[in-house]
Structure 1
Amino acid sequence: MPPVLPSSRSGFRPCLVLLACLGLPFSACRKAPGGPCDTRASLYGQYPFPVGVALRTNKLYPGSPYQELAAGQFNSVTPEYEFKPDALHPAPAAYEWAAADALADFCRQHNQRLHGHTLIWHQALPRWITEFAGSQAEWDALLKDHIQTVCRHFRGQVSSWDVVNEAFEADGTLRSTIWLRHLGSGYLEKAFRYAHEADPDALLFYNDYDLESNPVKRRAVLSWLQAMRQRGVPVHGLGLQLHISIRHPENSQLTEAVQAARQTGLRLHFSEVDVAINPLNQAVEPTPELLQRQADKLRFLVGLYQQLPRAQQHGITFWGVADPDSWIRSYFHRADYPLLFDDNYQPKPAYCTLVRP
């Protein structure tokens, strides 16, 4: 087991308000003028479990609001892109570590846990993998080489991994990925075993979406996890992504999903949390009413997580620092405001309700 990080850190910069209009550095002030609350207290310091964020190294400019919030508010980091296969493994015999190493360095400098995302996925693959024409044995060797090279490179730096990401369809069947087509369903077990061989100390997770709102998919995933554990496969945790909205799912659905996942005894990671306020892609503004609904939804979600046994709490990770960093805007081509900080990196009610639980 890797060491558990303390729930507080020293040396972070608590002054997190953008005052570029006054010609002052970002860290020169202590309070968000006109905002609903200030950011002097770190978010992670309010909870006994890690509170994380997905980061991109190309946005971590020293003194920027993005960097200041990333360093001061969170004690766990998930790479949003840098650890995916097309970023790390662009050619058969070539690995590019610079961006990923920079993120690992950032975590080390700020005493933050690093959660690796992701070793195996059906997206974000380099062209040489999608066009690979090898035999089943050669595909197996490719899978093993990629997983073990990456895990060994980050051994001692990454404490946990999303080993396989999004392997199930909505109907509960295995997704017809390039891995399934060339290796069969056994690729999932192999992925976990290969990762464990390369880094026996790392915690290994399966990660997926819609488990909170699709009971068919959830039952299939939980059944598979149970079977893997019975076979002695080193699966230690489940990541529930929880890209949710103020409209969906219902709180009762969230409760049902978390209770079902709790029964596995696995560590649970709320791994990619955001709460959209415009899921229907309408012409909306982030009004106080909508932002309060967002805060209420998030308060309920975090409250559910606090009810879990401490041994099962791997942490809650938000999928981005502030609204302009959200994947939702570019992926769905819509205006939305799903994160804890607004377009000016000011705290929103969602942040305030969590920093004053």
Structure 2
Amino acid sequence: MKPVRLITAVLAAAALSLPLAAPAAAGPSPDHRPPDHPRHSKPGTLRWAAPDGFVIGTAVAGGGHHEEQDYPDPFTSDRKYRKLLARHFSSVSPENQMKWEYIHPERGEYDFGMADSIVEFAERNGQDVRGHTLFWHSQNPAWLEEGDFSDEELREILHDHITAVVGRYAGRIDQWDVANEIFDESGELRTEDNIWIRELGPEIIADAFRWAHEADPSAELYFNDYGVEDVNAKSDAYYALVQDLLAEGVPVHGFSAQVHLSTQYGFPGSLQENLRRFDDLGLGTALTEVDVRMRLPESGVATPEQLEQQSDYYEQALSACLNVEGCDSFTIWGFTDKYSWVPVFFEGEGSATIMDGRFTPKPAYFALRSTLLEAGGGGRPAPPWAGRGR
């Protein structure tokens, strides 16, 4: 196994002294150039460092918990945020703006405004889009969860939602998280808190994939979950389900691990092995919501040792993906601590992203960039081990 190059303190300090490449303007461009066009890939940025065909993405902050914070909507109000979003990433994922409660607030009524803005932004800046999500147990609107519907009505509601949302962006969204977090930690289906599975049975999962495929035959359709980084009961459940669905001809194209990590729990040592077994089924694989949180000292500021451990986790996760041929997408769940979800949901923890609250890159940023370059990015030829294990 070829050792992964670690960022030394000297290299990190030298890199920090260099300014980040000037970000792309948030305004419209005269054409929709592909992501690898020089206009979008400026030297020194993450998307420039990525090998050809490898997508480096981030969540677009907004909706959900952001609406309860003391700052305006990040995507629409923070110009520097948008510039860095365009400059460093070749893919974007709406953090909350395509979830049911946001995009389908009332029965038969859709609010596509913010989702449209994100897709249009991505097109202006040569970025892919990952759609998130169509079938989930959380962040559903009250009218759905508290409604009194027959089974036939529920099927119609889900079918209409998938058809409307996926169909609206047909040919414009590359991958969809169709079914999100459908298993619990023991590998059992969420038959209590997932309204679709509870009321309509497990068979509805296959229907969701079929309906999404009908709405956009060009989109890749994924299962997505947390806690499935290792080979364990939960990822085993997905592995078995995927094989059954593929045998039935259900259009399942990929499996993605979210990779929400914490330094206090250790790194998932079988991540690469787990991705590879799904790859062996012919599926695409992806890491879709990567962050590495830590328990902060009383000062609220991460120590150099914590930041170094964090950078190592980010680097290991990226390397695991790069070493699996079908893993061509690595998305972090927000790139700045300024808008991270972590402190809101994990008391006493934070500093989970690759830039601090002032958009200053951390060691993790440089670890990612170095690893991407080593894999053949930045115009360099790919090394012989890339995509085949090292």
Count of aligned residue pairs for this structure pair = 324
Query: Which residue matches 1:168?
Result: 183
Give how far 1:219 is off. 0.5
* 1:1-357 mapped onto 2 (5 Å cutoff): 8-12=36-40, 41-48=44-51, 49-56=54-61, 58-61=73-76, 64-176=79-191, 177-213=194-230, 215-278=232-295, 283=298, 285-309=301-325, 312-357=326-371
Is there any run of 5+ residues in structure 2 with no aligned partner, and where? 1-32, 63-72, 372-390
- CA offset digits 1:155-198 (Å, max 9, x no partner): 12211100110000111110021111211111100100010111
CA distance in 2, matches of 1:126, 1:335: 29
Query: Which residue matches 2:30?
Result: none
Structure 1 counterpart SS, 2:338: helix
1:77·1:112 contact (CA, 8 Å) conserved in 2? yes
2:220·2:253 contact (CA, 8 Å) conserved in 1? yes
CA distance in 2, matches of 1:261, 1:173: 19
1:239·1:268 contact (CA, 8 Å) conserved in 2? yes
Give how far 1:255 is off. 3.6
CA distance in 2, matches of 1:206, 1:215: 16
2:272·2:320 contact (CA, 8 Å) conserved in 1? yes
Supply the AA of the counterpart residue of 1:231: E
- CA offset digits 1:187-234 (Å, max 9, x no partner): 100100010111111110010110024601110111101111111000
1:69·1:321 contact (CA, 8 Å) conserved in 2? no
Percent of residue pairs identical:
33
Give how far 1:70 is off. 0.5
Query: Which residue matches 2:12?
Result: none
Query: Greater shift after overlay, 57-66 or 104-113?
Result: 57-66
- CA offset digits 1:262-289 (Å, max 9, x no partner): 33321011000001122xx664631111
Structure 1 counterpart SS, 2:354: coil
CA distance in 1, matches of 2:39, 2:272: 37
Supply the AA of the counterpart residue of 1:203: E
2:335·2:354 contact (CA, 8 Å) conserved in 1? yes
CA distance in 1, matches of 2:170, 2:272: 35
1:79·1:116 contact (CA, 8 Å) conserved in 2? yes
CA distance in 2, matches of 1:321, 1:121: 24
Normalised by the size of structure 1, how large is the TM-score?
0.86
1:204·1:235 contact (CA, 8 Å) conserved in 2? yes
Is there any run of 5+ residues in structure 1 with no aligned partner, and where? 15-39
Normalised by the size of structure 2, how large is the TM-score?
0.79
Q: Residues 331 and 88 from structure 1, CA distance in 2 versus in 1: closer, same or farther, beyond 3 angstroms?
A: same
CA distance in 1, matches of 2:156, 2:345: 33
Give how far 1:69 is off. 1.3
